[in-house]
A and B are shown apart, each in its own frame.
Chain A
């Protein structure tokens, strides 16, 4: 008996291993021309794992503090063996993860995979996307460089526009009236403890829901397959789909490695709180659409402050976004077309405003 079989037998005798993985053996994945979109969730999860692993390695050297943070990241990039690679992969995979999370969300939206009974999968997924953006916002400040410092200043100022609780929220985020070393340690806490804890919990719920409810098929195909069950095509989750997912992960790893090696993540200049803000300061790309929208809103809309209107509007749209599945029809043959229209508009708006924000001075 090979060592692998011995180990498996040992586990089976104690944990009932075969029973545990039996559902995975039985599980199938629908096969159709849009099946490729199923890989996006897995790639996002893969990138999250990379984030956790590289984040732990960075923690070995990173020192949160206004006087040490920049120097510690600089040390990682110049003195630590492969430190540059770990830091670059961490930064690049963070950005790729946010991109794939967005892409995954829109693919779910266009394939209408959020429909009954998967409403909670959607809700947990959208909240996960918000958490991922929170990871990006909190992590961006940690190297304590000029761009991050001022982007955080602008970003936290926007939270102050939230009616009633805005100012206390800003002070809570900053650890005071201004962005200081206190903000850095606070963001560090969010980035390495609060957000990972919440995200891990929510990822577990999300993945369990996906496993429990299986993969959704587009409504038209669902109607077709229901009418003609013999037309249904599927593959085994294990090993067929898992191996394909593994291939996708390898491709993601290759892209990540190439980006990290050819375009190592820049460190910039150390933040100087007393220096004037650089001209044209902008947030990270995934916040650009909101930032540009707020810039375009006039200072006053009727009698309300323009920024307050913008923040309230984004809050409302965010809430609507989370609750979107509950507006959808249960019948796959009678799905709501306005939701698809809304999704198309949202995608074009986010993409258009991001490009506009990137090009705007």
Chain B
């Protein structure tokens, strides 16, 4: 009797535990939306294939959106006909021309977007309509970039994610997928060497090599959603967003008016655009890297002014190098010249400032920076030379001391010999 009662208790307990598990599993699954789309599409080949792993990387999936959020349909049904029925709102593959509007249906709605990211802008679609891409799409050209071309689809990541196609480091490659493809761009009458040139530029070096995320990439100058060429008369405004002081100086220069009246694109005239190299003083010279002589005539008043400015920059550069050399020797001799070394930074700052002031092409302004730098470099050179004189003085002093010590040693030795003999 006791045994059968125990067995009953044991069965009851087992049932209770099982029921608890079922209730727990039901409770955990409550609230999760079934997504039958991935069950089939994860097994399909590209372009229809979307795996769970891929989709889980997508920021939309992470925010709780499903396939149906864009494609419609009923993902809760395992029946393909029902899941992909027009009656259930299924849209199928989204037509390229409809992509911006579809994305905009959420991304242009501040109230909706605020739920996920209050700081995210909602003017992308409006900007897109002003872009060359948007305008051409509106004109029926389906080859131009739509949202998914740049941001990717089904594995779309936040721009801050280094793996995102629109992360600053990857933007140039993303743009180049179309813009560097000569056959794809055939018919648009624009060059396809921008990426190749950009890859050699100082901007690319700063961004890709030095990892400076503030360095410009395509979208910095052209805009992203509203991407368009800056326009000849707007180039200066684009460059000046970073190169503020150069812009202020250029505003004071005679070149500004001259370039404007000749419809020349400001900064680009001397520095080029996509392939901007690290500027050197040689640009002001008369050698192969010179840019002034492309427009000016040798020997004219402008050429003479150029030669004067070039000479001044060289003079300061050489003065800094001379001081550096002397200070280097003094330092390697163990002399304390850290203050002069620090002063060299000030001289270099003056040279940098002069190189910025060059954009005014006004001798009196450049002179101020050059003279300040020359004065500092001269002081530093003097400090280095003084340190070298001091070093030599020390060595002479050491020599005299060693001779005195040697004499003392000889004297002591002789004295010891005398008292021990």
Contact = CB atoms under 8 A, between A and B. Distances in A.
Interface stretch (A215-223, A256-264, A273-281): A256-264
Given A85-B394, A257-B398, 12 more contacts: A78-B339, A239-B419, A240-B419, A243-B412, A247-B413, A250-B409, A254-B406, A257-B402, A258-B398, A262-B398, A264-B335, A267-B338
A74 B334 contact: no
Contact of B402 (A74, A240, A254, A263): A254
Interface in A228-245: 235, 239-240, 243-244
Interface of A: 74, 77-78, 84-85, 235, 239-240, 243-244, 246-247, 250-251, 253-254, 257-258, 261-267, 269
A77 B336 contact: yes
B405 interface: yes
B398 A84 contact: no
Interface string B374-403: 000000000000000000001101100110
Contact of A267 (B336, B401, B413, B419): B336
B413 A240 contact: no
A247 B409 contact: yes
Given A77-B336, A240-B419, A267-B336, A261 B395 contact: yes
Contacts of A253: 405
A250 B406 CA distance: 8
A254 B402 CA distance: 6
Nearest to B398: A261
Nearest to B416: A243
B46 interface: no
The 5 closest A-B pairs by CB, nearest first: A264-B334, A261-B398, A254-B405, A77-B336, A261-B394
Nearest to A251: B409
Nearest to B420: A240
B408 interface: yes
Given A240-B420, A243-B415, A266 B409 contact: no
Nearest to A265: B334
B354 to A, nearest CB: 28
B56 to A, nearest CB: 36
Contacts of A240: 416, 419-420
B269 to A, nearest CB: 43
Contacts of B334: 262-266
Nearest to A84: B336
A74 B416 CA distance: 44
A269 B397 CA distance: 28
Contacts of A263: 334
Nearest to B407: A250
Contact of A244 (B394, B395, B401, B416): B416
Nearest to A257: B401
Chain A contact residues: over half helix, strand or loop, or mixed? helix
Interface of B: 334-336, 338-339, 394-395, 397-398, 401-402, 405-406, 408-409, 412-413, 415-416, 419-420
Contacts of B339: 74, 78
A243 B420 CA distance: 12
A166 to B, nearest CB: 37
Nearest to B408: A250
A169 B288 CA distance: 68
A244 B416 CA distance: 8
Of residues B395, B405, B415, B419, which shows the largest number of chain A Cβ atoms within 10 Å of its Cβ?
B405
A19 B22 CA distance: 106
A238 to B, nearest CB: 11
Contacts of B401: 254, 257
A262 B395 contact: yes
A349 to B, nearest CB: 33
Contacts of B394: 85, 261
A70 to B, nearest CB: 10
Given A74-B336, A264-B336, A246 B412 contact: yes
Of residues B339, B394, B401, which shows the largest number of chain A Cβ atoms within 10 Å of its Cβ?
B394
Contacts of A266: 334
B164 to A, nearest CB: 29
Contacts of B416: 240, 243-244
12 contacts: A74-B336, A235-B420, A239-B419, A247-B409, A250-B408, A250-B409, A257-B401, A258-B402, A261-B398, A263-B334, A264-B336, A269-B338
Of residues A240, A251, A254, A265, which shows the largest number of chain B Cβ atoms within 10 Å of its Cβ?
A254
Nearest to B339: A78
Contacts of B413: 247
Nearest to B334: A264
Contacts of A251: 405, 409
Contacts of A261: 394-395, 397-398
A78 B416 CA distance: 42
Nearest to A83: B336
A49 to B, nearest CB: 17
A264 B336 CA distance: 9
Nearest to B337: A78
A257 B403 CA distance: 12
Contacts of B395: 261-262
A247 B412 contact: yes
Nearest to B335: A264
Nearest to B415: A243
Contacts of B420: 235, 240
A250 B412 contact: yes
Nearest to A268: B338
A84 B394 CA distance: 10
B419 A74 contact: no
Contacts of A264: 334-336
A74 B340 CA distance: 13
A269 B413 CA distance: 45
A258 B394 CA distance: 10
A47 to B, nearest CB: 16
Contacts of A85: 394
Contacts of A265: 334
A269 B401 CA distance: 31
Of residues B336, B405, B408, which shows the largest number of chain A Cβ atoms within 10 Å of its Cβ?
B336
Contact of A74 (B338, B397, B408, B412): B338
B211 to A, nearest CB: 17
A250 B405 CA distance: 6
A266 B336 CA distance: 8
Contacts of B419: 239-240
Contacts of B409: 247, 250-251
A45 to B, nearest CB: 18
A254 B410 CA distance: 14
